[in-house]
C-alpha cells in the first residue's frame, strides 16, 4: 500500500464518496489491527468488533495513559506496535507537554501518508510552489520538526530546515535567502521581535519581507485580536495551518484563505468522533456540537489507534462546503481538556482568557494561570504581563478582573508582571501551571 490508497482530493470530496471509502478502509484496517496489535486483541478480547464503521462507538476508548502504560510494559513502542521491526523507517518522540514523552514509530507508508495529508492543510493556507519557507520547530525527535518539514516539502515549496535557537542567525537567513514564509509557533514571533530590537537597529519585522506565517502547536492564533496585531506588525497573512495530534497524525487540519476555522483534511485516513469529555458519551457530528475529539486510524501500519481520545475540546462550525470549495468539516479548538480549569462550576480554557487580554493594549498578551493545590477553585489565579508601552498600571488589575468577571462569569485574582518577565519560547508555551 502507498499514498495511492488515499482518496484523491479528499478535502474536496463529496460526502457520500468519502463515506463509502471510509467503510472500505475500516474493514481492512480492523482486520489488520486484530491480526497485528496485541494491545487491541486484549482490549477487544470479550468483544466482536464490527466492520461497520457506524458501530465504531460500541468499542472502548483508548487514552494516552493506556499507551504510556503499554510502552512502559513493553518498551520502546508498546504492544500496540503492529508493524514488524524491519518495517519501521522513522522514529519520533512526543514533546511530553502533558506527561511522559511517547515513542512514535512510522513505516515508510505511514510517513508518506502523513506528508500527503498534512500538505493539504498547508496548501489550504496558501503555501505552494514559488514559496521559500523556513521551518522553525524542534528537529530533535519531535514530530513537528522533521516530519512537518517533509509536509512543507510536499506542498512544492522550497523548504529551509532551520529548527530552534540562534534567532539572530534566523533573521539573517530570512533576509539573505529571500524567505517568503515562516513555519513556527504563534509565540515565536515575539522572540524574533526582541532580537530584532536588540541586534538589528532600525529594522522592523515587516522589513523581513515575509508574506505568509504558518502557525501551530499553540492556540493563540484562534484569537482574532492576536492575529490582527501579528499581521499588522509583520505584514504577512497569518494562518493557523498545522493542527495535529502527534500520536495520530502530525497535521490533520488547517485554516484556508477564506475563513478562520480549521478544515479537517484527514477524513479519508481518520474517522473522527465527538464525545462528552466528562462522561464519555457520544456527541453527534453536526454543526454547533462541542466535545472532545476522538480519532481512529483508517490507514496506519506502525501504531494504529482505535477511538483515541485526543484531549482536545472543539466545536464543529460547519460541515458543509466552504467558500474555498473544500467539503472538509470546519471546527475550532476551544482548548485541551487537561488545560481546562473549573472555577465554581464554570469551565475556563486559556483561549478564553487570551480573548480578553489580547483586546487590552496595556497588556503584552502573555499570561499564565498558576494553580496551587487541588481543585475545587473559587477564583482564577492569573498572572498577566504589562506591555512595554504602558506608563501606569494603576487600577489595571481590577479592570482586567472586572472584564473577566463580566464576560466569562469567573472571579480572577490578577497579578500584573513587568514587561518581558514571562518566558518567550520557540516551542510550546505553557499557559496553565499546576503546583502541588
One digit per residue, the tens of pLDDT, for the chain of length 436 reads: 467 789 999 999 999 999 999 999 999 999 999 999 999 999 999 899 999 999 999 999 999 999 999 999 999 999 999 999 999 999 999 865 555 789 999 999 999 999 999 999 999 999 999 999 999 999 999 899 999 999 999 999 999 999 998 999 999 999 999 999 999 988 899 899 999 999 999 999 999 999 999 998 776 687 788 899 999 999 999 999 999 999 999 999 999 999 999 999 999 999 999 999 889 999 999 999 999 999 999 999 999 999 999 999 999 999 999 999 999 999 999 887 777 788 877 888 888 888 889 889 999 989 999 998 888 888 999 999 999 889 888 999 999 999 999 999 889 999 999 998 988 765 567 788 888 7
Where among 305, 322, 338 does a domain terminate?
Answer: 338
**Cα 32 off chain centre by:** 28
Residue 171 CB partners (closer than 8 Å, separation 6+)? 192, 195, 196, 199, 200, 203, 208
Output the nine-digit C-alpha cell for 41: 486483541
Pair (132, 232) in one structural domain? yes
Residue with cell 510517513: 111
Q: Are strands 270-275 and 262-264 parallel, antiparallel or unpaired?
A: unpaired
Pair (255, 278) in one structural domain? yes
Rounded to whole angstroms, the Cα distance separating 414 from 187 reads 22
Output the nine-digit C-alpha cell for 175: 533576509
Residue 212 belongs to domain with CATH number: 3.40.50.980
- Distance set, CA 26 to CA 162, 296, 332, 388 (Å): 38, 9, 26, 54
Pair (165, 256) in one structural domain? no
What pLDDT is attached to residue 427?
Answer: 59
Residue 102 lies in a domain: yes
Pair (140, 285) in one structural domain? no
Pair (60, 142) in one structural domain? no
Residue 46 CB partners (closer than 8 Å, separation 6+)? none
Q: Is the pTM of this model over 0.95?
A: no
Rounded to whole angstroms, the Cα distance separating 299 from 82 reads 12
Pair (151, 231) in one structural domain? yes
Overall domain count for the chain? 3
Residue 121 lies in a domain: no
Pair (183, 324) in one structural domain? no
Pair (11, 110) in one structural domain? yes
Q: Quick check: helix, strand or coil at residue 199?
A: helix
Where among 291, 315, 338 does a domain terminate?
Answer: 338
Pair (254, 229) in one structural domain? no
Residue 48 lies in a domain: yes
Residue 380 belongs to domain with CATH number: 3.30.300.30
What pLDDT is attached to residue 1?
Answer: 47
Range of the domain at 408: 340-435
Residue with cell 510502552: 71
Residue 44 lies in a domain: yes
Where among 318, 338, 358 does a domain terminate?
Answer: 338
Pair (252, 107) in one structural domain? yes
CB-based contact 291:275 (threshold 8 Å): yes
What pLDDT is attached to residue 99?
Answer: 56
DSSP one-letter code for 6: S
∠241-211-257 over CA atoms, to 5°? 45
Rounded to whole angstroms, the Cα distance separating 58 from 335 reads 26
Pair (300, 355) in one structural domain? no
Report DSSP letters for 346-397, one per residue: EEE-HHHHHHHHTT-TTEEEEEEEEEESSSPBSSEEEEEEEPTT----TTHH
Which of 329, 223, 254 is closest to 285 using CA atoms? 329
Amino acid at each position: 500500500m502507498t499514498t495511492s490508497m488515499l482518496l484523491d482530493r479528499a478535502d474536496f470530496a463529496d460526502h457520500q464518496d468519502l463515506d463509502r471509502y471510509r467503510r472500505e478502509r475500516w474493514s481492512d484496517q480492523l482486520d489488520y489491527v486484530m491480526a497485528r496489535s496485541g494491545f487491541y486483541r486484549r482490549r477487544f478480547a470479550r468483544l466482536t468488533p464490527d466492520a461497520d464503521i457506524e458501530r465504531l462507538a460500541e468499542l472502548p476508548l483508548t487514552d494516552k495513559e493506556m499507551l504510556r502504560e503499554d510502552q512502559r510494559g513493553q518498551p520502546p513502542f508498546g504492544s500496540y506496535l503492529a508493524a514488524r521491526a524491519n518495517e519501521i523507517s522513522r522514529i519520533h518522540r512526543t514533546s511530553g507537554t502533558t506527561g511522559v514523552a511517547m515513542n512514535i514509530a512510522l513505516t515508510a507508508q505511514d510517513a508518506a501518508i502523513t506528508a500527503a495529508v498534512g500538505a493539504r492543510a498547508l496548501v489550504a493556507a496558501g503555501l505552494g510552489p514559488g514559496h521559500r519557507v523556513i521551518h522553525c520547530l524542534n528537529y530533535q525527535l519531535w514530530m513537528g520538526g522533521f516530519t512537518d518539514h517533509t509536509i512543507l516539502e510536499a506542498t512544492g515549496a522550497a523548504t529551509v530546515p532551520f529548527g530552534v535557537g540562534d534567532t539572530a542567525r534566523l533573521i539573517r537567513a530570512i533576509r539573505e535567502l529571500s524567505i517568503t514564509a515562516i513555519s513556527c509557533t504563534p509565540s515565536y514571533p515575539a522572540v524574533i521581535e526582541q532580537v530584532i530590537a536588540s541586534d538589528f537597529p532600525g529594522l522592523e519585522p515587516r522589513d523581513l519581507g515575509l508574506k505568509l506565517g504558518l502557525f501551530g502547536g499553540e492556540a493563540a492564533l484562534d484569537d482574532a485580536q492576536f492575529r490582527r496585531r501579528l499581521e499588522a506588525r509583520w505584514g504577512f497573512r497569518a494562518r493557523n495551518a498545522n493542527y495535529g495530534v502527534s500520536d495520530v497524525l502530525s497535521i490533520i487540519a488547517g485554516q484556508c484563505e477564506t475563513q478562520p476555522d480549521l478544515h479537517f483534511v484527514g477524513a479519508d485516513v481518520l474517522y473522527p468522533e465527538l464525545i462528552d469529555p466528562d462522561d464519555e458519551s457520544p456527541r453527534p457530528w453536526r454543526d454547533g456540537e462541542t466535545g472532545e475529539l476522538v480519532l481512529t486510524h483508517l490507514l496506519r501500519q506502525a501504531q494504529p489507534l482505535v477511538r483515541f481520545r485526543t484531549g482536545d475540546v472543539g466545536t464543529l462550525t460547519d460541515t458543509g462546503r466552504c467558500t474555498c470549495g473544500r467539503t472538509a468539516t470546519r471546527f475550532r479548538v476551544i482548548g485541551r481538556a487537561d488545560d481546562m480549569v473549573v472555577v465554581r462550576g464554570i469551565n475556563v480554557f486559556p483561549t478564553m482568557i487570551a480573548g480578553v487580554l489580547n483586546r487590552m493594549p496595556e497588556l503584552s498578551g502573555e499570561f499564565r494561570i498558576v494553580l496551587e493545590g487541588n481543585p475545587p477553585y473559587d477564583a482564577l489565579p492569573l498572572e498577566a504581563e504589562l506591555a512595554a508601552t504602558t506608563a501606569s498600571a494603576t487600577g489595571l488589575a481590577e479592570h482586567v478582573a472586572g472584564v473577566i468577571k463580566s464576560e466569562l462569569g469567573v472571579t480572577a485574582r490578577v497579578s500584573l508582571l513587568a514587561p518581558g518577565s514571562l518566558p518567550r519560547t520557540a516551542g510550546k508555551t505553557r499557559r496553565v501551571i499546576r503546583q502541588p
